[in-house]
Amino acid sequence: MKLQDQYLQYIQWSEEDQVYVGYCPDLFPAGGVCHAETSVEAFKILTEVVEDTVSTAQEKGMTLPSPTTRPMREAIPA
């Protein structure tokens, strides 16, 4: 699995802006990093931004934060 695929990435509709906004909380904790008219286009842009961020950091020897954000809690068997 590629490192960029380990980071949670999601798209959310912004009622205020009337666009879909892309988020990757571990790499960009300040908020959304892209927007588009459709969720598919927003996700495409988001994955490109995340991939570029990870590859640039690796090329420059920069340390990336660990992927820690999870989309849901771990399942605990009853």
In whole angstroms, give the CA distance from residue 7 to residue 24: 7
Total number of domains in the chain: 1
Sequential DSSP letters for 30-52:
TS--EEESSHHHHHHHHHHHHHH
- Does residue 35 lie within any of the structural domains? yes
pLDDT at 69: 74
Give the domain range for residue 46.
3-59
Take residue 65 and report the two structure tokens written for it: 């934060």
- Does residue 64 lie within any of the structural domains? no
- Does residue 52 lie within any of the structural domains? yes
- Does residue 75 lie within any of the structural domains? no
pLDDT at 71: 60
Residue 21 buriedness (CB in 10 A; 0-12 / 13-18 / 19+): buried
How many helices (H) and strands (E) are present in the chain, helices listed first?
A: 1, 3
- Does residue 39 lie within any of the structural domains? yes
pLDDT tens, position by position, 18-74: 999 999 999 999 999 999 999 999 999 999 999 999 999 999 999 999 998 766 555
- Does residue 42 lie within any of the structural domains? yes
pLDDT at 55: 96
For the entire predicted model, the pTM comes to: 0.84
